[in-house]
Chain A
Amino acid sequence: MADTTHSPPGAVWRARGRSRRSTRSVRAVTSAAVVGAVALAVLIVPPLVQLDEQAVDLALKLQPPSLAHPFGTDDVGRDLLLRCVYGLRVSLLVGLVAALVATVIGTAVGAAAAAFGGWTDRVVMRLVDTFSSVPHLLLGIFIVAMFRPGVWPVIVSVALTHWLSTARIVRSEVLSLRARPYIDAAVSGGSSRWRITVRHLLPGVLPQAGLAAVLMVPHAMWHESALSFLGLGLPSHQASLGNLVQTARGSLLAGDWWPTLFPGLFLIVPTLAIAGLAGVWRERINPRRRSELML
């Protein structure tokens, strides 16, 4: 302690900067490792080990975690580890596709609203406000209810309810980019509106839109789980994280913790990892926040 108080202030600042950087890289490395492990698991395990959704072995029902079944078994004797991996695969698929579709819709709508401006902008953004005023889980339930249960209705429902925030982000970003002198220079250089949008505005909002998409993946996974938990998402025999938690509710009251805990962890840990990566990315594309914190 005595050393620290007597050393020049510069040394203290340097030390602090170094420790911050290492925290950040620890977060980046951990998140990347988890995301990598998850990606490997959902890509490699299903082709190696087939999951028979209908297989029932009542002799093995509700076994606590053991070497043969590291996550235990569920109330009809199915291995929970395998079902968790399969469930994660479905959740990730829904999350990725829904986030991608929502981002494309949101970017197109937001960029169009900002690029056309005037009445188009006003009408489109009031429509966005109107949709946003309906709780999106409710809207999602409404959309899912129109179709037979399955993966695609869930994806459509999540995608159609989640482009609104991206549209807002992209619109405001395009509006701020449009006021930069380099857009003036492009106008003066003879670029058409279309060329300015494609060459200068869209590449400019791409990092923000990409960040919104990555942050939306976990959100979309949670929506899939919520819909399945409510019995509206995927068919109840299909392994999905929401269905797993839903079926585990009964056994949790009887004191069997593992059918709830492990699917829950499978939902939470990848979510945190993806959010961690997104956080690192956000600091890269917007380093001002970091430097403000360091002051």
Chain B
Amino acid sequence: MLELLDITAGYGRGAPVVRGATLTVAPGESVGLLGPSGCGKSTLARVAALLHRPQAGTVTLDGERVTGWRHRAPRARRTSIGVVFQQPRLSADPRLRLSDLIAEPLRAGGRRDEVADRVGELAHTVGLTDDLLGRRPHEVSDGQLQRACLARALVLRPRWLVCDEMTAMLDASTTAALVTVVEEYRGAQGAGLLAVGHDRVLLERWCDRTVRWPEIAVAV
């Protein structure tokens, strides 16, 4: 279970962005989180991905209470959650070729021997050709880059996926392709998914259940 209980989170000393939000994702379940822009969905997604420490509230992952975020979280726990962000341009290091981008989590974990196999396999899964794998982010389109970012999120076979507006920058066919990849991965690995977005039609078709923002958080 990925449980967020009564989460209050924000940046700096100002008023918190998220106040008293509660959300649960069961293993193998896909949950869509809907809300208008600026309501704090992404912040909540970052808390769930262990990337942003909340000011209050508890996060429980597989029955264990999370006590550290970012580098204070153990590597195994950090990597059990794969994250895809909204803007592929900003979430890819501009100096890395797409193949290195996808392989980076493997290399960071010292699993160099798996790089060639996993990158080839995932490139095929997300639909990237060898030519594209050799290019740098500025030489590919947003959709192609987002495919690489999804492959990077899946390379360590995470048990949880957090997709923060993964398809907001993409056209309909790429959206469909990426959603299919995520669903096939979930079917094979039984991973839980938290999909954040503002596209009601998409999330309702994609996810087992969707929650609207006002239902999970205390009104500010």
Contacts and interface: CB of A to CB of B under 8 A. Distances in A.
B93 interface: yes
Contact of B78 (A188, A195, A199, A200): A188
Given A182-B90, A187-B51, A192 B108 contact: yes
Given A180-B90, A200-B93, A191 B81 contact: no
Given A181-B90, A181-B91, A182-B93, A189 B152 contact: yes
B71, B90, B93 — most chain A CB neighbours (10 Å): B93
A203 B95 contact: yes
A189 B81 contact: no
B105 A184 contact: no
Given A184-B46, A184-B51, A195 B91 contact: no
A193 to B, nearest CB: 6
Nearest to B71: A193
B108 A190 contact: yes
A231 to B, nearest CB: 48
B83 interface: yes
A287 to B, nearest CB: 12
Interface string B151-164: 01101100000000
A170 B63 CA distance: 42
Contact of A189 (B70, B79, B95): B79
A107 to B, nearest CB: 17
Contacts of A204: 93, 95
Interface string B31-72: 000000000000000100111000000000000000000110
B210 interface: no
Nearest to B105: A189
Interface string A190-224: 11110100011001100000000000000000000
B87 A187 contact: no
A188 B95 contact: no
Contacts of A189: 79, 104-105, 108, 152, 155-156
Interface residues of A, number: 18
Interface in A168-194: 180-182, 184-193
Contacts of A186: 93, 104, 108
A215 B90 CA distance: 29
Contacts of A180: 90-91
Given A181-B87, A193-B71, A195-B108, A188 B93 contact: no
Contact of A181 (B79, B85, B156): B85
Contacts of B108: 186, 189-192, 195
Contacts of A195: 108
Contact of A188 (B50, B87, B90, B109): B50
Given A181-B85, A193-B71, A195-B108, A187 B78 contact: yes
Contact of B71 (A181, A187, A203): A187
A172 B75 CA distance: 28
Nearest to B109: A190
B92 interface: yes
A188 B71 contact: no
21 contacts: A180-B91, A181-B87, A181-B90, A182-B92, A184-B49, A184-B91, A185-B83, A185-B152, A185-B153, A187-B70, A187-B71, A188-B51, A188-B83, A188-B153, A189-B79, A189-B152, A189-B155, A190-B108, A190-B109, A199-B93, A199-B104
Given A185-B149, A188-B51, 8 more contacts: A181-B90, A182-B92, A184-B49, A185-B85, A188-B83, A189-B108, A189-B155, A192-B75
